[in-house]
Structure 1
Amino acid sequence: MVTYNNACSVPSSFWLVGIPGLESLHLWLSIPFGSMYLVAVVGNVTILAMVKMERSLHQPMYFFLCMLAIIDLVLSTSTMPKLLAIFWFGACNIGVAACLTQMFFIHCFATVESGIFLAMAFDRYVAICDPLRHTLMLTHAVVGRLGLAALLRGVLYIGPLPLMIYLRLPLYRTQIIAHSYCEHMAVVTLACGDTRVNNFYGMGIGFLVLILDSLAITASYVMIFRAVMGLATPEARRKTLGTCGSHICAILIFYIPIAVSSLTHRFGHHVAPRIHILLANFYLLIPPILNPVVYAVRTKQIRERLLHILKAGAQPR
C-alpha cells in the first residue's frame, strides 16, 4: 500500500473480513455454506444434463432454464470458493484487480438473470396469449438472441461500476472490507474522495434492473391472467396456469431475497452487520439452490428422466 497522506492510501490489495462478528464461528459456518454451494452446483449441472439428454425439453422455456443454470453457477462460484477459503484457511487477502473482477461478475450476472426472467415472461405470454405463433416467434435463434441481449445488457450496465472505481477512486481510508465478497457499495464506502457518481450510478442501475424488469414481468402476467380467465373451463384455466408455476416461483426466489437484502442495507441501520452480510450471501445462494428443485419438482419430463437415471444407477451390475 502506498500512503499519500495520514488518512488515504493506494491499496495493492483488500482484506475481506468474511462474516463480521462471527469470525470465531467461521469453521462451523463453512459447513452449511459449503453444503449449499455443493447442492447448487450439483442441482444446476443436473438441470443442464437433463435438458441436453431429453429431446422433449428442447423448447424455449427449458433453453432459458439452462441459461439460468449457467448464470447461477457463475454467481455462486464467483463468491463461494473465496468465502470457503476465508473460512478454512483465513485467506482474506484479495488483489484489487481480483476484487473488481469479482464485483463485475456478481453484479453483471445478477443483472443477466433478471433479463432472462424477463425473456421467460415474454415466452409464457406468447405461449398462452398467442399460442399459434409461439413456435414461429420463439425459434432457437430468437431464444439465443434474447439470451445474448440479456448478457450484453448486463455487461453494458455493470461494466462501468468497476471502471469508475478504478479510475475515479484510487485512494482508500482502509484496506479492510467488512464483507465476504467485493460488493460495490462495500468497496465504495471505503474510498476517499467524491463517491456521489458511483452511488447514483449504482442506485440507477438497481432501479432499471429490479424495478423496471419486475414491472414488465408483472405486466406480462396481468395479460396472461386475463387470457387465462377467458378460458372456458376451470380445468383449462388450472392447466394453463400450471405451465407458469415454475417461472413464478423462480421469480419470487430471485427477487424477494434481493429486495430484502437491499432494503435491509439501505434502511436497516440498526440491523447487525453480520445480518447484512448473511443476507447478501443468501441472495446469491438461494436461487442457485432452489431453481433446480422448483423445476425438477414441477416439470414432469425432468422429474421422470431424473428418476429413470437414479433407478438405472441403483440397479445391480
Structure 2
Amino acid sequence: MDLLGAGAEERPRTPVGVFEEQRPRLFALAYRLLGSAAEAEDLVQETFLRWSRADRVEVPAAWLTTVITNLCLNQLASARRQRESYAGPWLPEPVLTGAGALGPLETVEQRESVSLGLLVLLERLSPAERAVFVLREAFGYSHAEVGDILGFDEARSRQLHRRARGHLGEARKRFDAGREQHRRIVETFMAATVRGDVAGLERLLAADVVAWADGGGSTAARRPLSGRERVLRYLGGLGIRPEAAAVTAAVAEVNGEFAVLLWHEGVLRAVMAVEIGDGRISAVRTLMNPAKLAFAAAQLV
C-alpha cells in the first residue's frame, strides 16, 4: 500500500519551494560576484521578493539567475567606489566552506573560484567582465547563455571573457599544493604563529611573501607587507602580545582552502588564509574587521 497516497509525488511544487531549491546556488553566485556574504544574502532576499511578485515563469532557474546577476551588477557599481576609499587593504568576507556553503568544491578549479586570492583579483575587472568570468568559469554557462543572462550577444560575451582573462593574466595563481600538504603547512603555520616561533615561521615563508590584513582601518596595518623579514616581524609579534595567552586557534576550510581561525574570549577575532607556492607560504591574508567576520562566526554557531 502506498502510504504517501496516490499521486503524492506528482504534487506541484510551491513557488517558495522552487525558490528554496535555487537559494544555495543563487547565494554562491552572488558571493562570487560581490565578495561579500552579507551583501549576497541581501540580494538573494531581494531576488525572492521579485520572484514572489512575478507572473508565471517558464524556466525558474534561468529567470532567477538573470535577476540576481543584474542586481549584483548594480551593486558592484557602487561597491567599487566604496572600496576605493576603504581604510587599508580590502579583502573579501571569509566563508566556511567545509559544509558546502558555496556549492561543490571538489576540483582544483572549483576551489580556486572562491579563493580569497582570486576574489581579490576579480576587483580588477569591470562589473560586466566579472559577471561573464564568474558565469563562464565557475558555473559553466555557455557564451550564448551568458549573453542571455546579461542582455547581449554571444560575441560580446566572448570578448568580455577574453578581456577578463587578460586583466587577470599571470597574477592568477593556480593551487599547486595538494590538499594534505596544504593542511600540514597551515597547521604548522598556526602553531608557529600562536607560539611566536620566528624560526619556525621563517622556514615556512617564501622570500617574496606578501601579507595583507583587513581590519577596516583600525586594527591592522594600512598597507601590505612584502618580503620575508617584514612579514616575520609582523607574524612573530602576534604570539608575544599580552592577549596571546588567551587566544585559541583551529584549522578550518575557508573559501575552499585551509585557514587558521583565532578566537579571543570566545569571540572569533581573525581568519588567516595562506597561499602556497613551491611548498612555501607565498601570501598571508588576515581578516580582522569584525563586520566581515560576522557571517563566518554565525556559521560556527
Fold-level match, TM-score > 0.5?
no
Higher helix share: 1
Higher strand share: 2
Q: Which has the higher contact order (CA 8 A, sep 6+)?
A: 1
TM-score, normalised with respect to structure 2: 0.29
